[in-house]
Structure 1
C-alpha cells in the first residue's frame, strides 16, 4: 500500500487501516479503493481490522438517480462497475472490515457497506440494502438497518466516534490471527449456502459457487426443505473441517486455551512481537 493515491486517503493507526471515503464516491476513488484492498490481501498480518469511513469528507450523497442524471448514463455505469469490483475486493480482505456510515450514502457506497463484515451507522444516516421480499434494495435509516440485520450497531451521529472507539477497543483485545480465521470461517459457511429466498445475492457470491443446486421451478415444499437441510449440513461440515485443520492447531488457539486454564489474559502474537520491537 505504498502507492500514492489521488482520491483515496489512508490512515494507519493502532493496528488498523482507515480508508477515508466520500458518501458518493467517484470512479477514481473506487478504483483506488480496489487497489488498496488488493494490496491488503498479501500483507498486514498484524492488522486487526480495516475501516471504511464514509462521510467524513466530501459532499453529501444524493438519493439514487439524481446524481446519474447530472453526470450522464455512461459515467453512472462506470461508477456502478467500479463499485462492484471494489466491493468484491473489500470482501476479499483477510481482516474484518468495519464500515462506518456517517451520512446517507449513494448506491455505489452502499454496495461497499454490504461487502463489509461489521457496520456502524449513525441513526440520522441511511444506505441502500436488501430488505427482504421482492422489493430489492431499500433505503434504510440507521436503527432500521440494525433491526433488519443489515447493520451491526447504530448510534446518534454525535456519539458515533465514541461508539467506534468502543468497538475498536473490543477488537484490540482479540488476536489478529483469530479474527482473520473467524472471518474465513463465516465466509466459508456463507459460500456453501444458497442466498435466502427473495434477497439479492451478495456481490462476492458468484454463480456456480454453491455446493448444492439452486431450486428448480417445479420444486415442492418437501424437496425445498431437503435441499436446504443438505446445504446446512454441508456448510457445517466445511466449517468444522476448517476449524479442525486450520484454527485448532494454531499457536493462537493453544495460547487462548492456556490463558483460559491459567485464568490470565492471553498474550497474542501481535502483542508479543510489539513488545519485542519496543525492547530492541
Structure 2
C-alpha cells in the first residue's frame, strides 16, 4: 500500500496572489526596428492550415508565439449580436480546441511561445482547466501564456450554466482556485463559486503559475480585475492605448503591484510600421498580429509579409 506524500496543507485566498514567474526570456526574442517580440493569432479550424504546419513555419521565421481563441459552440438560435457587427464569420463555429492545437504546436517546436487569446474561463471546470494548463506548461518547458476573458455570447455561456451577470466574478474565483492547485504545497481554496480541498495536484506549471493576461475593453472594472488577479492586459485590436494605459497603471499601483511587472500585449493587431512604432513609444514590448483564417498558401504569404516587422 502506497503512502501519500507528507506535504503541508495551506489555505489559499485571493489575497495570496503573487506575480507570475514568467519572464521575457520565455518567448524567443524577435527584434525588428521596434525591438518588440512579435507573436501571432489565428482562428484555426478544420478548414485552415494545421497547428503543426503553422507552428513550424512561425518558428522557422522567428516569430515569438502563437495565441489561439476558443468557442465551444455557437448556438444557431442566437440573439446576441456579433461583436464586430454584421454576420458572425464562419470560423467562430469551427474553432479547434485551443489546448489540443497548442499542444501540437508545442510538440513540434523548441522555442515558440504558446497561449490562449482568449480562454472563456467561466465556461470551464476550474479543476480540469488547472490540470490541462499545468500539463501543457510543464511539457512545453514553461512556454504557455494564459489569456483569459469574459466572452460576448450569452447563449454559449448559458449552455455552460453561466449566469451572465456573474461571469466576471466567476472567472476571478476560478482563477483563484486554479492558483491554489498550482501552488507548490497542497493548498485549499474556498470561494464564492467553488472550492477545492488541499490536494496533491501534479504536474505543476513549469515555473509557477503561468502568466495571466486579461482580454477585454478598457474600463475601471477590467483594470481593477487585472490589478487584483492577473499579470497584465491583452487589449484586442490595440486602439486607444495612449489614453488607457495610464488608467491601468493607476489601478495597478493602487493595488500595490510592482509598476515594472505590468505587461500590456496588444492582440489581433493588423500591423503597420507607424502602429508598431507607436506601441514601442508607449513602452510595449510584445504584440500579437492577426493572421487570416485561411489555407496554407494565404497564411504563409501573410507570414512572409509580417516577417519584415521582425
Larger radius of gyration, structure 1 or 2? 1
Tell me, yes or no, whether TM beats 0.5: no
Give the TM-score normalised by the residue count of structure 2: 0.30
Give the TM-score normalised by the residue count of structure 1: 0.32
Report which structure shows greater RCO (CA 8 Å, sep ≥6): 2
